Amino acid sequence: MLLVMVAGGIVLADQVSGNLALISYNVNQSQSLLIIPANFNLGNLTSGHAGTVTENATLTIPTNGTYAFKLDKDTLKGAFSQFNVTIKLGNQTVILLLHGRDDVHVNLTKGTYTVVIIISYLVSSHAHHRVVENEPLITVKQLGNDSEET
């Protein structure tokens, strides 16, 4: 639609436009990890609250190799005095700790794994108000010659 206005000998034009279509997509390379993540919702927590929760994820490994599992401590910062994660995949068990080892390297063979993730936690007695929604908790990446190893 074109609107033309004449004011004191000057012609002003304003064009109205909008998006007719939008597109989103993800091209998956055959050599990339495929992850259907676990979603943990701990709900409303109070100081001193303790609990254990379990969720499943699916992880498809494209090639045999070494993979790093890392706990994102920033997501947990200041809220928990204890936070332990046990990850079971295939015949292996990985343990990640808030106050301890937060990065573990595991040799995996190509395939699809049902991953059982168990979290045990204790909310700090000094925890401050904080809202966390859909933040990364555990990351997985393949290590190799051109990957950064930690």
61 pLDDT band (50/70/90 cuts)?
Answer: very high
d(CA 102, CA 113): 21
Q: What is the DSSP string of 16-34?
A: ----S------PPPTTS-E
21 pLDDT band (50/70/90 cuts)?
Answer: confident
- Rounded to an integer, the average pLDDT of 124-138 is 90
CA angle 39, 66, 143 (to 5 degrees): 85
The tens digit of pLDDT for each residue in 84-106 reads 999 999 999 999 999 999 999 99
- Rounded to an integer, the average pLDDT of 10-31 is 64
Second CATH level (architecture) for the domain 34-143: Sandwich (2.60)
**Which range, 11-15, 25-29, 138-142, is most confident?**
138-142
What are the extents of the domains in the chain?
A: 34-143
